[in-house]
Amino acid sequence: MPIATSRDVEHAVVGGVCAGIASRYQYPVSRVRAATIALSVATAGIGGLAYLALWRALPSTTAHHYLSKAMNEPELTYVAKNSIKENNLMQDMIKPASDSLDKNLSAPTNSALYGPVASDLPLVTETLSNVAQGVGFDFLETMLTQQLTGSGKMMRPGIALLAARLGNYNLDKVVPLAASVELLHSASLVHDDVIDEADERRGNTTANSLFGNSASVMLGDYMFANAAELIARTNNTEVVRRFAETLMMMVRGELTQDVTVFEYSEDVQRYLDRITGKTASLFSTAAEGGALVSNAPTDQIEAMRTYGLRLGVAFQIIDDVLDFTGDPEIMGKPVGSDLRSGTLTLPAILYMQQKPNDNPIKRAFEGQRRRANFDHAIQDILTSTYVAESIETAHRFGQEARETLQALPVGETRKTLDRLVDYVLERDS
């Protein structure tokens, strides 16, 4: 099965190769495409320009659909006759990705950040690796491996492990919980990228860019199902209930964002409610869940729930600030990409509140000279106090997270959770 990319008729010939190179060597797909087009122009003249025009004009579908029609074969027959094992490009992708999975997932386990649980995070990595192996379907294994490779700092699993140290630290229960939380987070990103039609996330090629939207939706569903199976291993009905509630909150937060796209009536409270559901709820579940599975004292379980919630809000606010101030190469998206896609975050909301009448964001959302008005708004935000005010708001939530730690016993666990607040507030990517 060829890999589907964002415009897939011509990718049946060229785009699959571009995507394969991008995935194998971790190059941005857009750069590989650009190099391919430049080479085509240099060697084929008009043919290269035609390829460029086709790439810009065609809608997204799936490459194997068109190839199967060209061969006058049903799609399922085509997939069966051209299995991944028989496809050299896919074989090239499978081995390097599989070999690097454990290494890349383990990289964030740094003792300075996670202190007493740093040595246990590789167990979470191994559990996630097992999700991608032995599924009995090479294409699914490739998709899982691609998505789980390089899973960031693994902050949510780290918080779950730290919270579990408040009671009976049982790795047989807390590791599945930590892996479940990370898998739930990763699955939500897969679906987000499909909705946003994103080619890259933090410099890495997205699943939907490589495999197409339909396959990526099913990939996310499969990951959600695996996350539910992992959480069931805790044998704790309260944790399972919290997991289900969190999933509902995340979906509600994402839906709220989607239905308010290009709506300029958003206010700060609605924004905070949205990011609480979309982001902070999972931080809260990781923290509270870790304390629950270890049978920590009730007051400490509640403290961890609140800690995770406040830390998650601070995390998302900083993330939204970095959408304006972060390095586009590191972030894997252009400056102000959330605003350009119609999503109002805290810096933009504060800007609109101060300029309710003559505002370029409002004009852009109404369809007036969108690019110019967005550029104007982003420049205004970057040269004003709105970024600093947003960071100050994040620090207030960070301080509230810190204050909840007073309920925990003095020790390395509490110190590490306190340091995580500093990391969230000071990060630059």
pLDDT digits (tens, 9 = 90+) for 95-152: 333 344 444 444 344 678 999 999 999 999 999 988 888 788 888 888 888 888 765 6
The pair of three-digit structure tokens given for residue 204, joined into one six-digit string? 């890495």
Q: 155 and 72 in one domain?
A: no
**159 within domain boundaries:** yes
What integer pLDDT is reported at residue 66 of this predicted model? 27
Give domain status of residue 96, yes or no. no
Do 368 and 220 belong to one domain? yes
- What average pLDDT does range 349-365 have in this prediction? 91
- My answer on whether 304 and 364 are in the same domain is yes
pLDDT higher than 80, residue 35: no
Domain boundary among 63, 82, 101: 82
73 and 131 part of one domain? no
Asked if residue 110 is part of any domain, the answer here is no
Question: Looking at the domain assignment, is residue 106 inside a domain?
Answer: no
Distances (CA, A) of 425 to 9, 238, 315, 404, 406: 44, 31, 7, 17, 19
Query: 47 and 150 in one domain?
Result: no
CATH code for the domain of 267: 1.10.600.10
Q: Which of 54, 82, 110 is the last residue of a domain?
A: 82
Q: How confident is the model at residue 260 (pLDDT cuts 50, 70, 90)?
A: confident
Q: By residue range, what is the domain housing residue 276? A: 124-426
Among 82, 99, 133, residue at a domain's last position? 82
Residues 148 and 229 in one domain: yes
Count: domains in the chain: 2
Looking at residues 58-77, what average pLDDT do you find? Answer: 33
Torsional sign, CA 324, 327, 330, 336 = positive
Same-domain check for residues 77 and 201: no
| pLDDT greater than 50 at residue 258 | yes
Instruction: Give the residue, 66 or 72, on which the prediction is more confident.
Output: 72
Do 164 and 43 reside in the same domain of the chain?
no
Q: Is residue 179 part of a domain?
A: yes
**68 and 188 fall within a common domain:** no
67 & 175 share domain = no
Identify any residues that bridge with 201 across adjacent strands, giving them in sequence order: 204
For residues 199 and 206, give the distance between their C-alpha atoms in angstroms, rounded to a whole number: 6
Is 191 a member of any domain? yes
Residue recorded with tokens 């944790």: 239
Torsion over CA: 399, 404, 408, 414 (sign): negative
The confidence band for 281, taking pLDDT boundaries of 50, 70 and 90, is very high
Domain identity same for 56 and 184: no
Q: Which of 11-15, 29-33, 56-60, 207-211 reaches the highest mean pLDDT?
A: 207-211
pLDDT of amino acid 355: 85
Q: Pairing relation of β-strands 200-201 and 204-205? A: antiparallel
pLDDT for 428: 85
Q: Please write the tens of the pLDDT for every residue from 379-429.
A: 999 999 999 999 999 999 999 999 999 999 999 999 999 999 999 999 988
| Residue pointed to by tokens 């969190």 | 246
Answer yes or no: do 176 and 28 share one domain.
no
In a domain, 114, yes or no: no
From residue 348, how far is each of 287, 321, 387 by CA, in Å? 30, 10, 9
CA dist list (Å): 309 to 162, 177, 201, 232, 257: 15, 17, 24, 23, 19
